[in-house]
Chain A
């Protein structure tokens, strides 16, 4: 048995022995589902908390991070195996969220020792929750147009401006921001810096945004003369765009992969809804056109999973192909198709908002369908993804946008 195969057996055995049974089969189990932690966390589920503690103790909340920073010092392959084995039984990761999935890896690469020592262990232990300050009202797809001003004042930066779509800022402790430190740079991608901000600093206001689904996972975050120690600058001043792109790359593959639930789960979900709403307990789904659409969805889902596995395999073998760039485009499309079809089969039972005449499951599904419309917008819209693939993979000439 190869070393990795042996490790897989070990990881599987440990996870199955220690993961509390109540968490098995909790849907999802991507990097963004489960215990997010932070000082504002009000989680009381004893099993979730026990799972968190076991993960922290073993360093498996951030398996590939150095032990000194709360990780287990394992390889990325071993980390993938741990996550795959958690996914295999659908238990959430012991600690989830942006700090682990996106910010941590970037700080590991670009941060200085003091920053790493200060922030990483607390992320790994789920003590501090991070959010991302990227988009602004006039910097969405055109992110490099961002205007949050950071002016040097002695040993500090003074921040003025606004961020938007700051996910869960109201539940977070810290925010990593892209700010403009040189307004006179010759190109808008220049003069940008990555700055870490404690959200309790005076001058910060967080306001939640209500979405069409009725959820409010996003916020607007306002900065009014916010004073931030200069030591919170990550990397080199005015060269933050490189770091920003690294984080975005991470975000895209995370989103693509987090959309990927269990192979076959989208098809099973839609078939179950079709059976429920079309009164068809068994046998062929009575509407042949719906049946064809479900099969097309099931095929797309299978193809997506096979493609993720293929990309992973070529990355592991040291021959990464350009196809990683399509996972967000396909994953978000798949997610939307799944909810569209699940809504279609529900007919008028999918129209409920709240109250009598609708069951919980259908009410939730309707909200999730509305929420799914954002999947082709957030983390770089599908159109932006296509621009990137067109330029970087197909080598087509830059055009007018």
Chain B
């Protein structure tokens, strides 16, 4: 912290109102139980397009998008206010893919024509843009890019395979990193309808939707480059930092909801003639979870604030937020299942969705151990 002055953690009046509105609407319209019906009905989309466009009308999708591109021109912090609430009910709508990956790639590296062509559609809820950054066998190391882009007469021909591309099954555009030299890679913006793309839906345990994306000599022009040629690594790192902070805001919300549900259960459920919440063994563990969530709230808010106000602090705050939110969400979810007892391990109860999402979020955008390693490097040890 420069000069030991902490960032402001307070929500202004508009942000408080936004948080409250989002909380109420999501609780009513988007309960976590939807994950079960999307799964069981084998829904082709896996989320509600109707709800997505309703949230566009409320302005939520364009909160951070500049006004010239049809957004509200607010900050990443404002976006995180909504993301926290979407996390509470584990919403499978394409927040991570489109608002955290695609939009951040365009905001950080997109050319003027790319931004003009796509951002208004994103803000209007009409366009989905994702980033396919995971490859099989890379073990979450986004720097390992085996997909290649060969220079051609028209521009580049891209071949390779991306796995678990979030919302890849419905995305209109997919941004992919592809190696353009021995040392560097480049991000390319690809139309999902393009020749040579083979997109196969994948089903994950946590209810987020994904696809395998195979690229076989997909031809793109030089205009498809997002950012600079051969300089994709820095851009990808920067956008994954933002994505990590946004996902951390969702994990914060999910932890809070799982915790609140558990506290309610501890007060209701009786054994030995008393509420199980009167047992000190459970009380102390509940307080530990409460404490972790309080700490996590501070780091998530600080990281979101840094994205808007202190760009130099973003790498360390992003790693701090992602590492802590991941550990907190996982710990909260495990304790939530345990304290629910038998019902906690049934498919009938929603708490099980939280532990599934906790595991998914834990390994997405860098595991905590990777972020601690990065933190150590950033602090010179």
Interface residues of chain A, those whose CB is within 8 Å of chain B, are 84, 88, 262-263, 267, 271, 274-275, 284-285, 288, 291-292, 294-296, 298-300, 302-307, 309-310, 313-314, 317, 323, 326, 329-330, 383, 386-387, 389-390, 393-401
B381 and A326 within 8 A (CB): no
B274 and A397 within 8 A (CB): yes
Contact of A294 among B1, B4, B302, B381 (CB under 8 A): B381
Over the window 344-381 of chain B, the binary record of Cβ atoms lying under 8 Å from chain A Cβ atoms (1 yes, 0 no) is 00000000000000000000000001001101110111
Q: How far is the CA of A168 from the CA of B299 in the complex (A)?
A: 38
Question: B58 within 8 Å of A by Cβ?
Answer: no
B283, B294, B377: residue with the most chain A Cβ atoms closer than 10 Å = B294
Contact of A309 among B9, B278, B372 (CB under 8 A): B9
Over the window 269-290 of chain B, the binary record of Cβ atoms lying under 8 Å from chain A Cβ atoms (1 yes, 0 no) is 0000011011110011011101
Say whether, besides A298-B379, A307-B294, A397 and B320 are in contact (CB < 8 Å).
Answer: no
Besides A306-B295, A386-B284, A397-B274, 14 new A-B residue pairs in contact (Cβ under 8 A), listed by A number: A84-B4, A262-B4, A288-B373, A292-B373, A299-B320, A307-B297, A310-B9, A314-B9, A390-B284, A390-B286, A396-B266, A399-B277, A400-B278, A401-B280
B381 and A284 within 8 A (CB): yes
**B261 → chain A closest CB, angstroms:** 13
Say whether, besides A386-B287, A390-B283, A309 and B376 are in contact (CB < 8 Å).
Answer: no
Contact of A396 among B1, B263, B302, B381 (CB under 8 A): B263
Say whether, besides A303-B320, A310-B301, A394 and B4 are in contact (CB < 8 Å).
Answer: no
A387 and B10 within 8 A (CB): no
**A295 → chain B closest CB, angstroms:** 4
A299 and B375 within 8 A (CB): yes
Say whether, besides A310-B297, A330-B291, A267 and B379 are in contact (CB < 8 Å).
Answer: yes
B6, B274, B380: residue with the most chain A Cβ atoms closer than 10 Å = B6
Q: How far is the CA of A267 from the CA of B299 in the complex (A)?
A: 17
B375 and A295 within 8 A (CB): yes
Interface residues of chain B, those whose CB is within 8 Å of chain A, are 1, 4, 6, 8-10, 263, 266-267, 274-275, 277-280, 283-284, 286-288, 290-291, 294-299, 301-302, 320, 323-324, 369, 372-373, 375-377, 379-381
Contacts of B278 in A (CB 8 A): 396-400
Residue of A nearest to B291 (CB): A326
Contacts of B379 in A (CB 8 A): 267, 271, 295, 298
Contacts of B287 in A (CB 8 A): 326, 329, 386, 389-390, 394
Q: How far is the CA of A389 from the CA of B288 in the complex (A)?
A: 10
Contact of B283 among A271, A326, A386 (CB under 8 A): A386
Q: How far is the CA of A386 from the CA of B324 in the complex (A)?
A: 21
**B43 → chain A closest CB, angstroms:** 37
Residue of A nearest to B288 (CB): A386
Q: How far is the CA of A401 from the CA of B278 in the complex (A)?
A: 9
Contacts of A271 in B (CB 8 A): 379-381
Contacts of A306 in B (CB 8 A): 6, 9, 295, 298-299, 302
Q: How far is the CA of A295 from the CA of B376 in the complex (A)?
A: 6
A387 and B299 within 8 A (CB): no
Contacts of A398 in B (CB 8 A): 278
Q: How far is the CA of A323 from the CA of B299 in the complex (A)?
A: 15
Q: How far is the CA of A296 from the CA of B302 in the complex (A)?
A: 18
Say whether, besides A284-B377, A390-B286, A390-B287, A400 and B280 are in contact (CB < 8 Å).
Answer: yes
Contacts of B284 in A (CB 8 A): 383, 386-387, 390
Q: How far is the CA of A275 from the CA of B373 in the complex (A)?
A: 17
Q: How far is the CA of A390 from the CA of B324 in the complex (A)?
A: 23
B381 and A88 within 8 A (CB): no
Q: How far is the CA of A400 from the CA of B263 in the complex (A)?
A: 18
Q: How far is the CA of A85 from the CA of B352 in the complex (A)?
A: 49
Residue of A nearest to B299 (CB): A303
**B271 → chain A closest CB, angstroms:** 12
B275 and A313 within 8 A (CB): no
**A315 → chain B closest CB, angstroms:** 11
Contacts of A291 in B (CB 8 A): 373, 376, 381
B299 and A399 within 8 A (CB): no
